[in-house]
């Protein structure tokens, strides 16, 4: 076990390169199961969730090798097992992304319950509905046995009852290896979904409508290998933008995808965070006077999340932490996950003025003069929110359960130190129950 010791009050300044998108890398890695040929993946983030996905794939018989720091070679030419390991699956929700490719290629899969963050109810019904639409039969409640009909999956029209990112990705992978046209309506269209679609095209599928909520996959009976570079992580880019603004620093974030940041930059401007684009770089100017922009008619402004291209749910925690340093009042409305905001008591303990109205809404009044405190990270994004608060606070903060942050942010302490942060990773001895 490890914790972060942070001395706050230092502006974060300098340059940083955006890491690969974790939520793109995980389904792209699962797609190796669609072929017996080799996938060569670049810009893969070295984080806990990726390592957990590698372990799951290796348990199934996939050959996996890191050829450099962020380059991963995968080949599933010797896979015979279609039962996903339960203990390894507990580590990440993305374990369920193995269902679609295993079902399409081998005609069956046995799936344990997926793990992941405790941010609220996260249903898998949309995945199963898509498989049923393609002709699969599903048995079981906790463990799921999913089997294609004789002759394999069938092309069809799938209508998602919600634009679930992972369900869309599972449907895309299954359809890519199902010969004929499959249309997915009410599909998720996040940047990581688009990146998976680009990989599947390289592997031999034809996909129309990438980036929209209606995609038609012209699948093949055989897919090949491919070389692919994982897209930059817009969630990480936004996190670093907030870190710089909250501490009054000047930051250049390199190798981003500016089109993925349009809504993020617009919503951050409500908090007074101004940014500029130079080529593929995002620039955050120093010492910004963060001030919340009131809506026309003196109405209380809000930042709320939703399916792409709305403001990402993964950034509501980060926006809330940044709002504690902005002058004025704003409503943070987390619509998608009922437990996402249950970390705000930790920011309140640091001096933030936050009123939690209900599981989905919090009113933030700023700026707050934060002070160091001892807190634990309940999930990836709440952990980053607490990092933002700690680096903006006066005094020393201690953040426990940093393995949660490590699941989504690569070498975060080392990269922050390069920007001037006073942060140390400290080992903690486990206390016997």
CA distances from 302 to 262, 330, 364 (A): 17, 5, 10
Q: 298 φ, ψ to 5°?
A: 60, 30
3-state DSSP percent of the chain in helix, strand and coil, to 5: 35, 25, 40
Helix axes 22-30 and 48-60, enclosed angle (nearest 10): 0
End-to-end CA distance of the chain: 15
Are domains 2-19+232-427 and 22-229 of this chain identical in fold? Answer: yes
pLDDT at position 123, please?
A: 82
pLDDT, tens digit, for every residue of 193-250? 999 999 999 999 999 999 999 999 999 999 999 999 999 999 999 999 999 999 999 9
For the chain, the structural domain boundaries read 2-19+232-427, 22-229
Percent of the chain scoring above 70 in pLDDT: 97
pLDDT along the chain (433 residues), means of 10: 95 96 98 98 97 97 97 96 94 94 97 70 87 96 92 97 96 98 98 98 98 98 98 98 98 98 97 98 96 89 96 97 98 89 95 96 97 94 96 97 94 97 90 60
CATH topology of domain 22-229: UDP-n-acetylglucosamine1-carboxyvinyl-transferase; Chain (3.65.10)
Catalytic amino acids? 117
| Beta strand pairing call for 353-358 and 361-366 | antiparallel
pLDDT at position 430, please?
A: 66
pLDDT, tens digit, for every residue of 128-166? 999 999 999 999 988 999 999 999 999 999 999 999 999
- Please name the helix (run of DSSP H) or strand (run of DSSP E) that holds residue 49, with its range, or none: helix 48-60
Residue 385 Cα to chain centre, angstroms: 15
Q: Which CATH number fits domain 2-19+232-427: 1.10.569.10, 3.90.1530.10, 3.65.10.10, 3.40.50.1100?
A: 3.65.10.10
pTM: 0.95
């Amino acid at each position: 076990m490890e914790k972060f010791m942070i001395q706050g009050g230092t502006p974060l300044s300098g340059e940083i390169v955006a890491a690969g998108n974790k939520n793109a890398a995980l389904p792209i890695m699962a797609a190796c199961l669609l072929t017996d040929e080799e996938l060569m993946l670049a810009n893969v983030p070295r984080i806990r969730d990726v390592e957990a996905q590698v372990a799951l794939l290796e348990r199934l018989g996939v050959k996996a090798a890191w050829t450099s720091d962020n380059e991963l070679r995968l080949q599933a030419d010797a896979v015979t097992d279609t039962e996903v390991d339960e203990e390894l699956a507990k580590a990440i929700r993305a374990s369920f992304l193995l269902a679609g490719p295993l079902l399409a290629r081998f005609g069956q899969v046995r799936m344990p319950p997926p793990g992941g963050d405790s941010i609220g109810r996260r249903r898998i019904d949309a995945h199963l509905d898509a498989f049923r639409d393609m002709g699969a039969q599903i048995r079981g409640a906790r463990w799921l046995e999913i089997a294609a009909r004789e002759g394999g999956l069938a092309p069809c029209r799938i209508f998602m009852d919600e634009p679930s990112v992972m369900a869309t990705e599972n449907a895309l992978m299954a359809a890519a290896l199902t010969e004929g046209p499959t249309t997915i309506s009410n599909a998720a269209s996040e940047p990581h979904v688009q990146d998976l679609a680009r990989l599947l095209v390289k592997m031999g599928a034809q996909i129309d409508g990438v980036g929209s909520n209606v995609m038609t996959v012209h699948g093949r009976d055989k897919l090949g290998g491919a070389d692919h570079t994982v897209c930059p992580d817009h969630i990480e880019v936004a996190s670093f933008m907030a870190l710089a603004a909250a501490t009054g620093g000047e930051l250049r974030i390199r190798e981003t995808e500016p089109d993925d940041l349009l809504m993020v930059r617009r919503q951050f401007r409500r908090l007074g965070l101004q940014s500029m684009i130079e080529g593929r770089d995002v620039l955050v100017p120093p010492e910004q006077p963060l001030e919340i922009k009131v809506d026309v008619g003196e109405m209380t402004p809000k930042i709320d999340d939703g399916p792409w291209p709305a403001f990402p749910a993964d950034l509501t925690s980060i926006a809330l932490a940044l709002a504690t340093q902005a002058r004025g009042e704003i409503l943070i409305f987390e619509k998608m996950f009922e437990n996402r905001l249950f970390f705000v008591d930790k920011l309140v303990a640091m001096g933030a003025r936050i009123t939690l109205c209900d599981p989905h809404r919090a009113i933030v009044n700023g700026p707050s003069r934060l002070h160091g405190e001892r807190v634990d990270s309940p999930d990836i994004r709440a952990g980053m929110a607490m990092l933002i608060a700690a680096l903006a606070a006066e005094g020393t903060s201690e953040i426990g359960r940093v393995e949660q942050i490590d699941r989504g942010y690569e070498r975060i302490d080392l990269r922050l130190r390069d920007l001037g942060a006073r942060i140390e990773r400290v080992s903690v001895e486990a206390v016997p129950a």
